[in-house]
């Protein structure tokens, strides 16, 4: 299968694996290629690449992804992400730990966000 290239900054064009809208999965899932979820997922998700939560998707899980794009709904903690983007109409309910966090106009975020740099419990060297 030929790999699609992002068009006009739409990184989700790269997706090669998809869980369709009729899929309902419970458990631990792990992906190493760009993946799109359109169905319902409960449990834990790990993605070493891009993870797209589609507009109809409902994900109740702890999520670890290099890049996370939320078009649907995510309920749970998001950790160790390089980038999290909640697009217009997307909803994320939970705490987020990422280096880059984008919440577009019309998106919903309800939680706490921690971005890059030193963690609050890490002492800063005195000058």
Domain ranges of the chain: 11-108
List, in sequence order, every residue forming a beta bridge with 81; answer none if it has no partner: 98
Nearest to 44 by CA among 88, 80, 85, 89: 80
Is the pLDDT higher at 94 or at 13?
94
pLDDT of residue 8: 43
State the sign of the Cα–Cα–Cα–Cα dihedral 43, 31, 23, 73.
Answer: positive
β-pairing verdict for 58-70 and 73-75:
parallel
Q: How many CB atoms lie within 10 A of CB 89?
A: 14
What's the rounded Cα separation, in Å, for the pair 111 and 55?
A: 20
Q: What token pair was written down for 4?
A: 């699609």
Q: Is the pLDDT confidence value at 65 over 80?
A: yes
Question: How far is residue 76's CA from residue 92's CA, in Å, rounded to a whole number?
Answer: 8
Residue 71 or residue 7, greater confidence: 71
User: Average pLDDT of 24-37?
Assistant: 89
| Structural contact between residues 50 and 14, judged by C-beta atoms closer than 8 angstroms | yes
Q: Considering the entire predicted model, what is its pTM?
A: 0.79
Query: Half-sphere exposure (CA, 13 Å, Cβ side) for 112?
Result: 1
């Amino acid at each position: 299968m030929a790999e699609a290239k992002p068009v006009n900054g739409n990184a989700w064009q790269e997706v090669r694996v998809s869980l369709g809208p009729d899929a309902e999965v419970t458990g631990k899932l792990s992906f190493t290629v760009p993946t799109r979820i359109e169905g319902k997922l409960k449990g834990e998700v790990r993605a070493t690449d891009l993870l797209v939560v589609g507009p109809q998707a409902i994900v109740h899980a702890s999520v670890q992804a290099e890049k996370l794009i939320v078009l649907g709904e995510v309920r749970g903690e998001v950790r160790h992400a390089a980038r999290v983007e909640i697009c217009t109409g997307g909803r994320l309910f939970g705490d987020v730990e990422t280096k880059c966090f984008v919440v577009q106009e019309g998106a919903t975020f309800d939680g706490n966000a921690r971005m890059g740099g030193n963690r609050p419990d890490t002492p800063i060297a005195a000058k």
